[in-house]
Structures are given as structure tokens and as C-alpha cells.
Amino acid sequence: MNRREWSLAAASVLALSGCAGLRTVECEVTTFGTWPADRPRGTYAFERLPSQQAQGRDSDQLEAWARPALEAAGFRPVAAGTAPDVLVQLGARITR
């Protein structure tokens, strides 16, 4: 093999190795303040940012994943037509 063929082969190997790299999942949770011990858990509702309005199915899935954790912490979904005690915002980002 000449030098050009070696360079091309090396570039191909490097390009393909990027596709075979490990995929990682990172999770970041942000909370603000501590819930008062004497205050009962209240109702919650999900709030979507304007940029999330068009991502209906993706946002629905995120909310479905968060719902059991909220209910396990003692919160319950808000009844239709009433104001929730807390608003929950969720977001996800995929980077490569």
C-alpha cells in the first residue's frame, strides 16, 4: 500500500470508530427549596414551554415517566378546571 491508501484507510477507521462509540445517558434533576414538613403534598400540573408545544408525543412520554415519581412523593394530578399547587416543567435533550 502506498501512503495515500494508508491515509485513506486510517481516515476510514477513525470515521467508523465514531459511529461505534459508547452511548451514554445522563440525568440531571433540579429542585428548588425544601418542601415544608407540615405542608401536605398538593396537586400538580405539567407546564410546557412554547418550544415544547409542537413536541406533543415526546412531551407526553416525558410526563408519563415523571407521573409515577410525583405520585410516589405524595402529589396528585390537578382536577380539570382548578389551579394546581405546583407546576412541573420537564425537558430532554439528545446530543451526539
Rounded CA-CA distance 59/49 in Å is: 10
- Work out whether strand 76-77 and strand 43-46 pair parallel, antiparallel, or are unpaired: parallel
Task: Give the model's pLDDT for residue 81.
Answer: 92
Tell me the one-letter amino acid at 95: T
Compute the distance between CA of residue 90 and CA of residue 94 in angstroms, rounded to an integer. 14
In this prediction, residue 17 carries a pLDDT of: 64
Q: How far apart are CA 43 and CA 84, in angstroms?
A: 5
Q: What is the pLDDT of residue 25?
A: 67
Q: The pTM is what?
A: 0.60
User: Which pLDDT score is estimated for 22?
Assistant: 62
* Per-residue confidence in pLDDT tens, the chain, 96 aa: 677 777 777 767 666 666 666 666 677 777 777 778 888 889 999 998 888 877 778 888 889 999 998 998 889 999 999 999 999 988 887 777
